[in-house]
Structure 1
Amino acid sequence: MYDLAAFGAWAEFAIRWLHVITAIAWIGSSFYFIALDLGLHRDRNLATGADGEEWQVHGGGFYHVQKYLVAPASMPDGLVWFKWESYSTWLSGFALLAVVYYLGAEFYLIDPNVMDLGVWQAVAISIASLALGWVIYNTLCKLFVDANQTGLMLALFVVLVAMAWGYTQVFSGRAALLHLGAFTATIMSANVFFIIIPNQKIVVADLIAGRKPDAKYGKIAKQRSTHNNYLTLPVIFLMLSNHYPLAFASDWNWVIASLVFLMGVTIRHFFNSMHARKGMPWWTWGATAALFLLIVWLSTAPLARDETRLSSTAQRFAQADGFAEVTDIVLGRCSMCHAAEPAWDGLHWAPKGVHLETEAQIAHHAREIYLQSGLSHAMPPANLSWMEQTERAAIRDWYRSASGG
């Protein structure tokens, strides 16, 4: 049984690596095409009938790029579709969500002090919320397709703020922010799968059949692509947030997450304006810095939530043979750093937000203690508190006893 913990850690690492690789590919191509579209020269009378063109240099070569507003007169050979980057990112992300938060629901997804859920209930809420997000978003886009797009963006922001608050009322802080990122990423990938690519296929089919494509399909696809452009940076922040307790372990975490979306807008507005040759609105960096400072201030607000209830899994570890000995080991070797007020010089908060000062906290973080200090020598870092091999063995024996290994 104990080998499953090591296998799970490596499976998580492999899927996370895949997710990062595919996300880089998707975000890179997305940013490139947004910059390309905004920077096209449209003041030239092109013989080909193209809407705009641009010359670029990269890697020692020159590239001549042209964009057609609807489509070229005939179907070109070797047409490249940019879609698998998006699909692979979402699929690998959902796999990572399942491995970390569904299989480890009692460690990472459920917080009994927030809402005492069964594993199946928490997983069902998670999956349903992702699907619901797409339904709400897609409905709003259809209602606002011919209306003021600023109004649509404001409506979407209200939805995101509501979801940020709602997730924090159901899941642990770590899971809440991660789910808000997954919620947004699902909308982005669904845009590609359900709207952008199908619309492009309609245009291609019309070209093959000799019909003139309807420009509305390009208009709708451009709307969704623009949304993806502004949502990308907040999603990256939310996906990284689970490593930073000052972001997720605050009573104001839902406000922090909401402000991050505004930072995404200000940052992208600067680069979009620059690429469109409309100047460099430096005020956006001042606004971004002000929002970030507000986030920093909110993150240091005192916690008011009483965290005393344990999940059934944590209770099992607290009742396992050797827990008393492991508690003494952790209090002696780890708690000087992993405390609400760390005693180690230079530390102002517990690494990764992990507190190991009480039996309840030690039982809750059983898996991390086992992987970091029992199965590996990652903690204490550089073995600064001189944890002995016999103590690491005691941690392994305790964890395996509780796990049935």
Structure 2
Amino acid sequence: MYDLAALGAWIEFAVRWLHVITAIAWIGSSFYFIALDLGLHRDRNLASGADGEEWQVHGGGFYHIQKYLVAPAGMPDRLIWHKWQSYWTWISGFILLVLVYYLGAEFYLIDPNVMELATWQAIALSLASLGFGWMVYNQLCKLFVDADQTVLMVALFVVLVGMAWFYTQVFTGRAALLHLGAFTATIMSGNVFFIIIPNQKIVVADLMAGRTPDAKYGKIAKQRSTHNNYLTLPVIFLMLSNHYPLAFASEWNWVIASLVFLMGVTIRHWFNTHHARKGNPHWTWAATALIFIAIVWLSVAPNPQREAAIVTRFAEADGFEQVHDIVLGRCSMCHAAEPVWNGLLWAPKGIALETQGDLSRYARAVYLQAGVSHAMPPANLSYMEEDERAAIVAWYRNAIGG
């Protein structure tokens, strides 16, 4: 019989591959059409009645492209719809969310140190948040459809910052950033499925019926398409973040995630301005670099308030004094500001376990490395006893209430 674990891993691999392929196709077409639209020459009186045109060269040939502001006079014989890239990116991404985070909730979704949740509660929060995101965003768009779009983008940014903070209060850091990416990607796919394609179908139906299409449908679709353009790069960062603990495991991970959205805006602003032939705002690259430097700093910056709460929680748990004595005797000869173990010049991974604060701060690592496993001390060089490991496990579980 085939190994079910291996089969499951290959299914996950196949879905992930599909997700990457469809995402590349969607992002590529999105970037291309936005660049094309911004670069159209609209100062020409075209006999076809088109709003603008562009000549491009690629693959050994020339392309003459025209765009009609609302629709052409008649329905073309063949019309290509760009929608399935978006749909399958979301579908494959959601399947991955189920395979990795829902079926592996104990490892990847739930952190008792953050919030005590049953698996069904965590999954329910995840699903509800995705639906909530679309409803709030859609209402904001309807509210600000005729307003300055900068106001709408600021309102959306406030929502995203709020969701970044919310996710870090209920899920693991890894799941929090991944969910913020899924939250944003759901908004983007919702734009295509609920707004852009239905509006285009209304225009097509009008053409086929001999009616003149209403320009408002194109205006609304353009608004949503522009939003997708600015949200794409942050989504890519958030989807890749689960490979980089410095991004998701930082005490300031929700601030890092929020700043990533600003980087997406500054980067896309340069490209969009350039494509529209309105100059090259190089200040955007300086702004992007400064934001990224801030992210790098935040990735290692402590959060004194949260750290103090964690230290108190573990220091007040039953068994703390005993475990502190165990760690001092079995671990701190290496994990110290000045290690005394022969050949060590600094503490492994920079982790010191000398004070009570140190033990509280690295409680989870001690629990995993020396409590539930025998990874530490390496080769059990300091002869940690089984009852000592059991004491570490009991203390940690007392602290988290498990």
The alpha-carbon deviation at position 244 of structure 1 amounts to: 0.3
Equivalent AA in structure 2 for residue 283 of structure 1: W
Counterpart contact for 1:110–1:122, Cα < 8 Å: yes
Map 1:135-146 → 2, pairs under 5 A: 135-146=135-146
Spell out the pairing of 1:206-217 with structure 2 (5 A cutoff). 206-217=206-217
Give the counterpart letter for 1:168 in structure 2: T
SS state of the match for residue 170, structure 2? coil
Q: 1:4 Cα shift?
A: 3.8
Q: Secondary structure at the match of 1:135?
A: helix
User: Secondary structure at 2:220's aligned position in 1?
Assistant: helix
Q: Which residue of 2 aligns with 1:358?
A: 366
Q: What's 2:299 paired with?
A: 299
Distance in 1, Cα, partners of 2:240 & 2:363: 20
Whether 2:286 is the aligned partner of 1:286: answer yes
| Structure-1 residue corresponding to 2:24 | 24
**Structure 1 160/356 Cα, relative in aligned 2: closer, same or farther at 3 Å?**
closer
Q: How far, CA to CA, are the matches of 1:158 and 1:2 in structure 2? A: 49
Return the letter of the residue paired with 2:182: A
Partner of 1:224: 224
SS of 2:350's equivalent?
coil
CA displacement, residues 142-167 of structure 1 (integer Å, 9 cap, x when unaligned): 01001111111100000000000000
Output aligned runs, 1:158-237, within 5 Å: 158-237=158-237
Q: How does 1:6-405 map to 2 (within 5 A)?
A: 6-302=6-302, 304=307, 306=310, 340-341=349-350, 358-361=366-369
- The amino acid that maps onto 2:222 is K
Tell me how far apart the structure 2 counterparts of residues 160 and 365 of structure 1 sit (CA, whole Å): 39
Please report how far the alpha carbon of residue 5 of structure 1 lies from its aligned counterpart in structure 2 after TM superposition.
3.3
Tell me the matched-pair count.
335
Give the distance between the partners of 1:129 and 1:256, measured in 2 at CA. Answer: 20
Query: How far is 1:365 from its partner?
Result: 9.5
SS at match of 2:117: coil
Q: What is the distance in 2 between the residues matched to 1:120 and 1:363?
A: 28
Q: What TM-score comes out, normalization by structure 2 length? A: 0.78
C-alpha separation in 2, matches of 1:282 and 1:275:
14
- Give the Å deviation of 1:60: 0.5
Specify whether residues 83 and 57 from structure 1 end up closer, same or farther in structure 2 by C-alpha distance, changes over 3 A only.
Answer: same
Q: Name the CA distance, whole Å, in 2 between partners of 1:236 and 1:262.
A: 14
CA deviations over 1:288-340 (Å, ceiling 9, x no partner): 0000000000001136274999xxxxxxxxxxxxxxxxxxxxxxxxxxxx964
Contact 1:339 1:357 in 2 (8 A): no
> Which residues of structure 1 form unaligned runs of 5+?
310-337, 344-353, 370-384, 387-405
User: RMSD between aligned alpha carbons?
Assistant: 3.0
Shift of 1:11: 2.0
- Say if 1:26 and 1:274 are closer, same or farther in 2 by CA, change over 3 A: same
Percent sequence identity is 78
Question: How many angstroms apart in 2 are the aligned matches of 1:129 and 1:241?
Answer: 20
The answer for the alignment partner of 1:402 in structure 2 is none
Asked whether the 8 Å contact 1:107–1:365 carries over to 2, the reply is: no
